[in-house]
Amino acid sequence: MASPRTVTIVALSVALGLFFVFMGTIKLTPRLSKDAYSEMKRAYKSYVRALPLLKKMGINSILLRKSIGALEVACGIVMTLVPGRPKDVANFFLLLLVLAVLFFHQLVGDPLKRYAHALVFGILLTCRLLIARKPEDRSSEKKALPESAEEQLSLYEKAPQGKVKVS
């Protein structure tokens, strides 16, 4: 049976992956929701207006929106379907992307209700990454330390003469 840690990682990976595939698709095409797509277009125009440096670099709102949407879809697919280390890499890229989006929202002065989802999913991405990177607990494989004085004394008596067993 799978450990609770494994179940948690898989559940978070699939849920987060599907969410980012959905959100990236909304940024790329109006097929899922015309209203959400229009709102994304408007929001990204305000982000580019608030950061003149992007304009100087030749990045317009369409390029920014489509590149972020494509990255979200690609990383979301990896998070959902690809096993192993690539999930962690995709998780890291999505976390950086969420931080950038939070920066954009703060820059244009959006109210909390406009970016609360980004905060929540940023926290979930952070939790998933921390859980995935934490080494497995191997306490069941380690020998139990003697708990009582009698157990410690019996270990001492079993040690070869002239040598003290230190545990």
With a cut of 90, say whether residue 41 has pLDDT above it. Answer: yes
163 within a domain of the structure (yes/no): no
With a cut of 90, say whether residue 146 has pLDDT above it. Answer: no
With a cut of 90, say whether residue 158 has pLDDT above it. Answer: no
120 within a domain of the structure (yes/no): yes
Digit-coded pLDDT (tens) for 81-112: 998 899 999 999 999 999 999 999 999 998 99
In sign, the C-alpha dihedral spanning 99, 127, 137, 1 is: negative
Confidence category of residue 154, pLDDT binned at 50, 70, 90? low
φ, ψ at 59 (rounded to 5°): -100, 115
> Would you state the pLDDT for residue 134?
82
pTM confidence score = 0.76
48 within a domain of the structure (yes/no): yes
Q: Token pair of 76, please?
A: 């979301």
Task: Give how many domains the chain has, as a whole number.
Answer: 1
Average pLDDT, the chain: 85
147 within a domain of the structure (yes/no): no
Digit-coded pLDDT (tens) for 44-77: 999 898 888 888 898 898 999 999 999 999 999 9
Domain extent, residue 106, equals: 4-135
150 within a domain of the structure (yes/no): no
140 within a domain of the structure (yes/no): no
162 within a domain of the structure (yes/no): no
144 within a domain of the structure (yes/no): no
The set of residues, in sequence order, having a beta carbon less than 8 Å from that of 100 and lying 6+ positions away, is 68
> Would you state the pLDDT for residue 5?
85
